[in-house]
Each structure stands twice: as structure tokens, then as C-alpha cells.
Structure 1
Amino acid sequence: MAERKRRQYGTGGVSWDPSKKRWVGTIEAGVTAKGTRRKIKVSGRTEAEAKTRLKERQRKIAAEGLPVEGASARVTVQKWAGEWITRRPAEVRHTSAATDTSQVRKWVIPTIGHRRLDQLTPADVRSVTAAIIGSGLSTSTAQRAQVVLTKMLRDAILEGYDVPQRVLLVPAPAKAVNDRDAISIVDAHAMLAAAATHPDGSRWVAAFLQGMRQGECLGLTWDLVDLDNGTIDISWQLDALPYKVKRDRSSGFQIKPGLPHRHLVDRWHLVPPKTANGQRIIPLVPWMTAALAAWREICPPSKWNLVWPNPDGTPRSEVTDREAWWALQDQAQVARIDDTVGRRYELHEARHTTATLLLEAGVDPKVVEAILGHSTIVTSRGYQHVSQVLARKALDDVAARLGLVPTQELTATTTGDHPAELRFVRSSL
């Protein structure tokens, strides 16, 4: 008797299943991890329906390959989302992972978590946007949520789950108009005048003049400040990495594999800026060199050699730093906060001020990008090496516009119960 031939991989047939009372189509799909025959099945109420579904599945396998073993067609968005967010800390920086997790838990799961991946429609994607807009949030939030959802679904496809391609093509909502802009030169002068009354006033000059990010300022150490040559090396920024197990200090930290880091204390680490452009050397104008030299004589001692630490020398949190920034605006009376008018400037707007002043001074955008370490602040022409001479001249021009001219004097004095007070003698504006 001739031996019965097995169907070849990728082929299939249709037969009646009396237990299910349905016609079942079967595709031979190699072997399982246990060494047994692997089959992919479809079904239909009629033989013709089963054959049609079988052909559709064969075409899909031919175009996209076999689904990963164990990837059930009945997996819901919520189940896959739970698996996906546990992977994110190993794929991206913790701030990005935390943002993605928040979007998924707050909007995606409550809105479409019950839906099966293989049954998603464009209407489901739009329903997430509608939920966000309906709660009173901006289209920018909705746009970010859709970016995260799309990434999550693309990763599901890579894992072998069936996700209709059309749900990946839904246009994202337009980004809302952002009222964040450069701080006016008048307000910048007022804030720098207020900063002059604080011993650590150079912290805020670094934001306006050098365009340094918050984490870059808080993570700056004295060994990266070269006062002799007048440069700052931006190689690290302060970051609070989360514990692997929440509030369990013995559990270690969630760190993206391969990310260089230096542990300071508790959750505080020094990590590199997010992009290669962010790692840069910024020239110091004479005013800033003098300001930092004076501050170094009176700044709180820090075990980690931090330039702008807390009074006890520990890393300064972004919350503490932001509150000091708001207090500076209140002191300078540049922000009026009431029920109808006004808002405080965000700290990041100081960087926009730096960029605007540099561009208004006619500085080439490539030089601006090199100083700020961010190619999207101005139209990018490609990151190129920029001469320190050009960058120094550019910052000299900005310093002059801010009234921080080389003829200013800075002195550190000791009086009474206040052992250290930095006095700025600013030229008339």
C-alpha cells in the first residue's frame, strides 16, 4: 500500500468537523517548538466560506510570513499592551517609557482595551483621539497617544499578531498651536537683574546665554568646566532613574541596556544627552567665566562635584529647580498669574530665547545648532563641526544684547549670617 503523502508546508485543505459543526481549513506550518506538527486553521459555516478564508490566510502568510508560534488570534489590545509596556524600559530611555506607559494606561486600554487586535478598525483609533479631546485635552496629546498606539501595534505585527494594516494608516490629529515662545528681551533683562541678587545667579544665565537644558545644568560637574580655556563640556545630564520594583531600593534601576550612566545617590544618575548632537562643548564668554569663577568659591560643597547642587550638596531635583525658576519670575515681576491673564514662562523657553537672539544676530543656523545641541530648534542643514571661534563670537553677541558685557564686575562677599553672597554689577541696558 502506497504511503500517504503529507501536505507540503504552506498548503492546506478543507474538511468537515462534526464536533464543531463547521468546515475547517488547515495549513501545514512546519513543526512546533516541541517537535510536533504545527497547523494553522480557519473555519466557515460552509465549505466555500472555509475555502475562501483559507486562501486569504495563505495569501497573508505569503506576504507577511508565518505568525509567531503561540500568537493567538484572540489576543486583545489590553493583553498585548500589558506585555508591550513591560518591554519599553529595555528599549528606550525611562522618560520615554514612562510617557508611553502613561498614554497606554490612561487612554488606549480604557478606550479600546477590550477589542481584539485582529478586529481593530480605523474607528477604534479615532475613538482614542475622541476620548482625549472630549476630556478637554489638546490635539497634541491626542497626536502623541496615536504615535504610541501605532508603535505598539507595529510591534504586535513583528511578534506575529494579526493587526489590520489599515489601522496604521489613520492620519494623526494636527498638533495644537503652542504658545511657548522666546522670552522677550525686556523680561529677560528683568529676570537676569533678579538673578543678580542670588549667589547662584549663574544658573539662570546658563539657561539664557548658553541655552543649556535643565538636566544639563543640574548634572554639570566642575571637572567639565574649563575656566582657563573658557569652555563647558556637555557630556552628562542629571536624571532620576526608576527602581525596577517601585520603592524597592535593593531592586536595581531600570536602565536601557548599553546606556552609559554614573550613579550618584538614590535614584539620581548622570546619563548622556539623548542625541549625539546633545554632547557638545560650549564656549564661555568672559562674563560667564567670571560668574562661574566667583560661584565656585562660594558654592555648597558637593560629594559629586556638582556645579549647582542643593544647599547640602545633593543633586537638585527638577521640581526644586522649577520652583526656583518660578520664584525668579515673580521677583522680576514678569509673570502675572490670575484667573484671566498671564502665565509663567516655562524653563525651556529660555532656550528658545537663546536661539532667537542668535538668529536675530545673524548667526548661521549651523552655529546655533552646535551651541544648543538640538537640530530641530532651527531649520536643519545637517550637523557639521563648528569652529569654537565662531561659536564664541556668537555668544559674545548674545551676552551684549543681554547686558552682560565684559566690563562687568563680579565679587563674592561674606556678611553677617550670610557667609556667601554673589554681587553682580551690571552695566546699564
Structure 2
Amino acid sequence: MSAKINAMARSNNSGVIRPYKKTAKHTLKNGKTRTYTSYEARIDMGEDENGKRLRKTVSAKTYKDCMSKINAILKDKNEWGMAVSKTVRLGPYSEDWLAIKKTACDPSTYRGYMTCVRRHLKPYADKPVKDFTPTICRRILNQMQSYDQKGEPTGPASISLRRTLHTTLNQIFKNALADRIIPSNPMVAVDRPSPKDNEISKSDEREAFTVAQMQTMLSKAADMGPQAGAIWWWRLLTGMRQGEILGASIEDLSFITTDEGIPYGQYAVNWKLEQIMREHGCGEPVKGVYPCRKKRPSFCTNPQWRVPVGYDITPLWGRWCLTRPKSKTGRIVPIIPLLAQVMQTYLKATAAQPNPYGLVFHRPDGRPIEPDDDERAFRELMKNAGIDNPSIRYGHETRHSTVTLLSSMGVDVGLIMQIVGHSSIAMVEHYRHADITERLKAMETLDSSLNLAQIEWKK
């Protein structure tokens, strides 16, 4: 079967776009010929960011249908400066966007994006990107649910999860706008979820422990002895994040003794413990099967960490690694004298334990303490201290407690934020640099507030 195609050129140079008539003759097996007629046009869409001319080809069986397509595209172009894609759907486009993000953002941020795309946006995967409006996006956010590990809904999503979805949708649509798939980003008109929203549950609010509660927890931790209780004194008296505590390195901890023989110290926050996932590095799968023949990436013959190029990572054990902290690397946290004494006793008591990764806090066999185990142990401490509803309280609340207590003692807010690493206020105080003496004096207010000298440690 053969075919010949003739294209009829435009009859004038008026600039008006009109369809070309195309005829195609096909020779059948019986020797007869059949002629097919269609209409086609090429529309100049301007230039891309590199100055390359962009043209769009449309075709139809009839002249009228082809003109209708031309007019629709020209309407989009005249109104928005571009043609809107009618076929790109959210699911496939979001996966392409995820592939780009995997090499451009840190692992925890990528996990948040991936959860939003593959779980929370899954019901909308087949919906064309162009059909999303601000109203639809608000509805998605308002109806968002939380899920347990089995994938079962557990109730309305938290404020942080809603914000992550808002960011995810906003970036996807910004990317689609840059790709000339949509004329505008619908998320521009959608407010970022905030705690004042009626839909946000009270469980999203973080509380601060009272002075009495902190004193009781410190006392109960002291009853455990240094090996088991030092980590809780460290948490309650430094205001550090959980990952920063579990990833604390001995080489970043230093002690100084005054002329009076009183020890104090400082810790430089350079690392945090983080779970990093791995992926196959053996090649592309064929019909769902990777060249290594292993299903799980961790068993691949060439597993790769799922991190951007150049991301600073120190593998420890299994999926646990040390990565750079959320706030500025090298943030100095003062260690007040009583905490310094506790830590020196703790380090001596654990010196004989294996510690291949040089962690301050670790399991007896040297492995890092996993966050879930740490959270369970802290809730057990709260339970022993008589704190109500420990199952719904979090260790992260100690940061709120430290900030609240320091503020109540009149410590400068900019200095507090430098100590605990809150970036928002730190940006306001961007040009303020406090030395260790000033920071230590600020943290010593915790000693006087909590009357730490009255707490005796179990030998």
C-alpha cells in the first residue's frame, strides 16, 4: 500500500491562519486506490525561553472542524499568551515533577512531597491539570485525611500535613505554568492553612510543660541514673530537636572548667539523625523487574541513597544516617554546669560500650536510637512523672518549654532563637552574634528556675 500526500498552500499573505487541504491516496491490494482528505494548520506560538520558535500543528477531517481548533488555540494564546494543554493529567505529570524534586531537595522534604502525590492526590490522578480551579484545590485541602501505616484514614489531617499538600500543589502548578500546560496557577488564590482555620483540630497545637512538670521529669530521670537518665536532662535543658539529640556527636561536645572547678560546656549542632531511603542503582526495570532481581532497593547489588547530588550524608546503620541540621550548621548550645557534670558522669559510665559512630547517645550495642523508641521512652518518663495524657504529648514540646521558660526569665528573644535554632526570629536578629559567655548566662536561668541543685542523682 502506498500513499501520496498533497498540501494546498494558503492563497494569500494576509496573515490569517487557514487550514491546508491534504489529500492522501492509498493503493489497496486489489489495485484500486482510495483518496482521503483532511485539513491541517501550523500555528506560531512565539518563542521559548531560549529563543526557539514554537509551533503547534492541528488537524481535522473537515475544514470547519480544523478552523474551530485553530480559533480555540488562538483564543487561549490571545487571552493567556499561550495554548492550554487539554490532555495532561495530574497523576503522570506529578510523577514527572517528583522525579525532578528527588534530585533537588532534601530527603525529608521529598518524602513529604511523595506522600502527598501518591496518597493524598491519588483520587485526582486522572483529572486534567487544566481543570483544577482554586475552589477545587480548597476542597482538596479541607477534605484531607490522615492515614495510619496500613493506609486506613484516622481523621482530619494535621495543620503541618495540610501545609505540605498546599506547598506540593503550588509547586506542581507553578511547574505546569512554566511548561505552558496551564494559563495560570490556581493555588495563587488559595490561602495557606493556618491554626486559626476552623477545620484544624486542637491536637495540632503544641503545649509547653510547666516548671513543676519539668522539675518532676528531671527528678524521675535522675532516679534512673546517668546511663538512662542523662538523655532526658539533655533534652529538657538544651531545647534541641529530637533528630539533633539522637544524632549528637561526641566530637562536637566540649567541656571547660572554671577557676573555681565548676565545669560547663557547649555543643555545636552539626548533625541530625535522619531516615534516608534507598533505591535501585542496578539499572531500569523491565516489566517491573530490576536487573538485580531484587524487589527491595536495600537488597539491590548497587543501592543508591535517595538524596540530591552533593547532599551531605554520613551512613550509620541500616536506613539511619547523619545529615545536616534544619537550622544553621554549627549552632552553639551552652551546657550549664549541672548538665555538664551529668554528661561527664554519663560518658564515663558508657565509655566501655561499643560506639562505632561516635554518638553521644546510643544503644548499648552502639547502634543509633531510633526516633520511635525515643518517643516511647519519653512518654514512659512523662507517665512516671504523673503528666496527664502522655500518649498524646511529644518530646518536641520540650523546645516550647525551654523557649517559654527563658522568655519568662527576661532573656532576649533573639538570643533564645540563636540557642534553639528557630529560623524565623533568627532572620530578624540576623546580624546579632552572641558569644558563649552570653549564651551560657542565658541558659543558666534554667538552673535557677528549676532549682536543679535540689535534685539528687541515683548512684
* Range class of TM-score, shorter chain: 0.7 to 0.9
Aligned residues of 2:169 and 2:187 also touching (Cα < 8 A): no
User: Gaps (5+ residues) in structure 2?
Assistant: 1-8, 24-35, 147-152, 258-264, 281-295
Q: Determine the structure 2 residue equivalent to 1:151.
A: 171
Tell me the equivalent position of 1:265: 317
- 1:416 corresponds in structure 2 to none
| Letter aligned with residue 251 of structure 1 | P
AA of the residue aligned to 2:436: Q
1:52-78 alpha-carbon deviations (Å, 9 max, x no partner): 4343344368x47x99xxxx6411001
Give the aligned partner of residue 132 of structure 1.
144
Helix, strand or coil at the partner of 1:201 = helix
Secondary structure of residue in 2 paired with 1:307: coil
Quick one: which amino acid aligns to residue 125 of structure 1?
Answer: C
2:53 aligned with 1:53: no
SS of aligned partner of 2:279: coil
- CA shift, 1:324, in A, is 0.9
Q: Distance in 1 between matches of 2:307 and 2:109?
A: 12
Mapped to 2, the partners of 1:202 and 1:93 lie a distance apart of: 31
Cα distance in 1, alignment partners of residues 269 and 377 from structure 2:
23
Moved more, 209-218 or 248-257: 248-257
| 3-state SS, counterpart of residue 312 of structure 1 | coil
How far is 1:288 from its partner? 1.1
Aligned residue for 2:333, secondary structure, equals strand
SS in 2 for 1:200: helix
Supply the distance in 2 between the matched residues of 1:272 and 1:290 (Cα, whole angstroms).
Answer: 28
Q: Encode CA deviations 1:382-423: one digit per residue, 9 max, x unaligned.
A: 462112222101110112212224x8776xxxxxxxxxxx53
* TM-score of the superposed pair, with normalisation by structure 2: 0.75
2:116 matched to which residue of 1? 103
CA distance in 1, matches of 2:57, 2:108: 42
Amino acid at match of 1:239: E
Paired residue for 2:133, among 118, 121, 133? 121
Equivalent position to 2:400, from 340, 352, 361 = 352
Distance 1:220 1:139 in 2: 29
Compared CA separation, residues 306 and 116, structure 1 to 2 (3 A): same
Per the alignment, do residues 254 and 144 of structure 1 end up closer, same or farther by CA in structure 2, a change over 3 Å counting?
closer
2:366 aligned residue (276, 288, 313): 313
Letter in 1 for 2:134: P
Measured after TM superposition, the shift of residue 267 of structure 1 is 1.9
Contact 1:107–1:131 (CA<8 Å) still a contact in 2?
no
1:190-205 matches, cutoff 5 A:
190-198=216-224, 199-205=227-233
Residue 292 (structure 1) shift:
0.7
Aligned to 1:162: 182
Tell me which of 169, 189, 214 is aligned to 1:188: 214
Q: What is the match of residue 417 of structure 1?
A: none
Distance 1:25 1:360, change over 3 A: farther
Deviation at 1:286? 0.7
| Larger displacement relative to structure 2 (296-305 or 16-25) | 16-25
For residues 337 and 87 of structure 2, the distance between their equivalents in structure 1, rounded to whole angstroms, comes to: 66
Between the aligned partners of 1:205 and 1:119, the Cα distance in structure 2 is 54
Aligned length: 390
Confirm or deny: 8 A CA contact 1:367 1:386 kept in the other structure: yes
The answer to whether structure 1 residue 238 and structure 2 residue 273 are counterparts is yes
Equivalent positions of 1:282-321 (< 5 A) are 282-299=333-350, 300-321=353-374
Cα deviation for residue 328 of structure 1 reads 0.8
More off after superposition, 171-180 vs 358-367? 171-180
Give 3-state SS (helix, strand or coil) of 1:228's partner: strand
Once the 2 structures are TM-superposed, how far is the Cα of residue 14 of structure 1 from its aligned partner?
2.5
Mapped partners of 2:190, 2:19: distance in 1: 38
Structure 1 CA distance for aligned equivalents of residues 164 and 370 of structure 2? 26
Q: Does 1:248 align with 2:298?
A: yes
Larger-gyration structure (1/2): 2
List runs of 5+ in structure 1 lacking aligned partners: 338-342, 411-421, 424-429
How far apart are 1:215 and its partner, in Å? 1.0
2:43 and 2:358 map into 1 onto residues whose CA distance is 65
Q: Distance in 2 between matches of 1:398 and 1:170?
A: 42
Aligned counterparts of 1:234 and 1:349: Cα–Cα separation in 2: 19
Letter aligned with residue 272 of structure 1? R
Q: Give the aligned residue type for 1:97.
A: Y
TM-superposed CA distance for 1:114, in Å, is 1.4
Cα deviation for residue 379 of structure 1 reads 9.4
Task: Work out whether residues 272 and 279 of structure 1, in 8 Å CA contact, stay in contact via their aligned partners in 2.
Answer: no
Check whether the contact 1:210–1:372 (CA below 8 A) recurs between aligned residues.
yes
Letter in 2 for 1:115: K
> 1:285 Cα deviation (Å)?
0.9
Kept in 2: contact 1:219–1:270 (CA 8 A):
yes
Alpha-carbon contact 1:122-1:166 (below 8 Å) kept: yes
The amino acid across from 1:334 in the alignment is: I
